[in-house]
Structure 1
Amino acid sequence: MLIVIDIGNTNITMGIYHEDLLIGTYRLTTKFQRTSDEYGFMLLSFLNASAITVKDIDDIIISSVVPKINYSFTNSIKKYLFKEPIFIGPGVKTGIDIRIDNPSTLGADRLVDAVGAYYTYGGPCLVIDFGTATTYDVVSHQGEFLGGATAPGIGICANALSSQAAKLPEIEIQKPECVIAKNTIKSMQSGVFFGYIGQTEYLIQQIKKEYQQDMKVISTGGLGRMIAKETALIDIYDADLTFKGLKIIYDKTKRKQSL
């Protein structure tokens, strides 16, 4: 079995593959202060909840955009799962040709999502990840990562309102009944939610116009489902896109090593 792990700025998500089937997922909050033992206990709890033993695990592959916790997380895997994890980075075969100014600066999460989208749904495609930041990335028909755009995530937008304006409260991100509201909370929810849909649709339209071609639009990320339901410009919402990308990269890496 293969454990796939995505370490993001807000959450750490983990999945287990039995051959090509994703049989379990788990999510925890990203915290910099956790020790390797704390991560180890969480990993073991994840396995126990899925009725899987340490001996069942063949390998672990990780995508991380939080370097501060990589050391502790790696040590937890070595200590409790007895494996050396594979990190997405130089030397790992992805099957994507990165065509940006400095390929080494591309976040592992964006690369993994691009792999998952391209090899699952084909190209050209526009991959949108609604995470802490929202990223829009273009992959060509030939599997080239051509570039992207980065916007504040919908959560950041909501938090900015309450933190920067003294009289505005914290809000839950949800779709209000109408655009024009009769109270402060509903008006904030309206501005954040419907405003974010407008931003999303405008960027999709401009990206397609810039490349002068139609492309499949694939979205993922924690709040992506909510946005995808509200616009016809997103073709596919895939909650497991990152896991799929990690599994594809793992398979390519192992095939390369066996040659």
Structure 2
Amino acid sequence: MLLAIDAGNTNVVFALVEDGVIRARWRIATDPRRTGDEYAVWLSQLLELEGLERADVTAVIIGTVVPRALHNLEVLASKYFGVEPLVAGQGGADYGIVLDVADPATVGADRALNALAAHALYEGDLIVIDFGTATTFDVVDYSGAYQGGIIAPGINLSLDALVSAAAKLPRIAIEAPDSESVIGRTTQDMMHIGIYWGYVAMMEGLVERMKAEIGRPVSVIATGGLATLFDQHTEIFDAIEGDLTIQGLAMLYARSLSGP
């Protein structure tokens, strides 16, 4: 069974993948200081709850945008699962896709993995929107080449900045407003409108501009935990793939088995 690890800036997601199917997934807050031993204690308990043992994990692949977290995840794989992990974008886990940007080495693993998986799942030109610490908009052309994109502050990051910089503004939950009115009557309503509808307007505006620049029919694929929240009030998404990055890791591992 494959253990796919997606280490992002906010959370590390661990997923068990068997025959291309995700059997279980868990997440923990990203902390580069967390040791391989600490990960092992935590994961061992979760595996037990699923009726599994560490020996059931026969391969590990890691994708990370947090370089300082990589070493401890590699220790986890080698010390506690007895396998040499593959690292997305390195060696036998080279992405195998064209990164058609000015500096390919700077493309985050999550964005490359999303591009790989989205192209495998959908035809034609694509825009992949990933709701994470940052919200990213990535263009994948009909051949599967990554063409670049946009990095915008994530909605939680935007809210944190607003609340920390304005002493009298309260902490609010990220949720859709109760109505479609964009004129708030209370401070909380005004904040909900600004954060939620402001974000919807930003997404719709950027996608419209990107489609115009691409100049061909484009499908928009959304991933990340907040995709379903926005799907209630916008028509820009053609599909939602909540596990796109994990799917990319599983595809990359399968490709590594077949060789170059």
Q: TM-score, normalised by structure 1?
A: 0.95
* Map of 1:146 onto structure 2: 147
* Map of 1:53 onto structure 2: 53
Amino acid at match of 2:75: N
Contact 1:126 1:137 in 2 (8 A): yes
Mind listing any 5+ residue stretches in structure 1 that lack a counterpart? none
> Residues 74-102 of structure 1: CA distance to partner in whole angstroms, max 9, x if unpaired?
11222211111111123323232110011
1:233: how far off? 1.1
Contact 2:5 2:15 in 1 (8 A): yes
* Map of 1:163 onto structure 2: 164
**Aligned residue-pair number:** 257
1:14 aligns with 2:4: no
1:228: how far off? 2.3
**Range with greater deviation from structure 2 (44-53 or 206-215):** 44-53
How far apart in 2 are the matches of 1:206 and 1:114? 20
Q: Pick from 202, 207, 210: which aligns with 1:199? A: 202
Which secondary structure state, in structure 2, belongs to the residue aligned with residue 32 of structure 1? Answer: coil
**Range with greater deviation from structure 2 (50-59 or 198-207):** 50-59
Amino acid at match of 1:171: I
How far apart in 1 are the matches of 2:255 and 2:31? 31
1:41: how far off? 1.1
Contact 1:125 1:217 in 2 (8 A): yes
Mind listing any 5+ residue stretches in structure 2 that lack a counterpart? none
How far apart in 2 are the matches of 1:55 and 1:42? 16
* Map of 2:246 onto structure 1: 243
How far apart in 2 are the matches of 1:28 and 1:163? 24
Contact 1:40 1:79 in 2 (8 A): no
How far apart in 2 are the matches of 1:46 and 1:122? 37
How far apart in 1 are the matches of 2:84 and 2:90? 16
1:167: how far off? 1.0
How far apart in 1 are the matches of 2:42 and 2:84? 17
Q: Pick from 227, 249, 258: which aligns with 1:255? A: 258
> Residues 201-227 of structure 1: CA distance to partner in whole angstroms, max 9, x if unpaired?
011100000111121100101212211
Q: TM-score, normalised by structure 2?
A: 0.95
* Map of 2:97 onto structure 1: 96
* Map of 1:187 onto structure 2: 190
Which secondary structure state, in structure 2, belongs to the residue aligned with residue 173 of structure 1? Answer: coil
Contact 1:219 1:228 in 2 (8 A): no
Amino acid at match of 2:152: A
Contact 1:129 1:221 in 2 (8 A): yes
Query: Which residues in structure 2 correspond to 1:87-126 (within 5 Å)?
Result: 87-91=87-91, 92-126=93-127
**Range with greater deviation from structure 2 (127-136 or 95-104):** 95-104
* Map of 2:215 onto structure 1: 212
How far apart in 1 are the matches of 2:253 and 2:124? 21
Once superposed, what is the RMSD of the aligned Cα atoms? 1.3
Amino acid at match of 2:106: T
Amino acid at match of 2:200: I
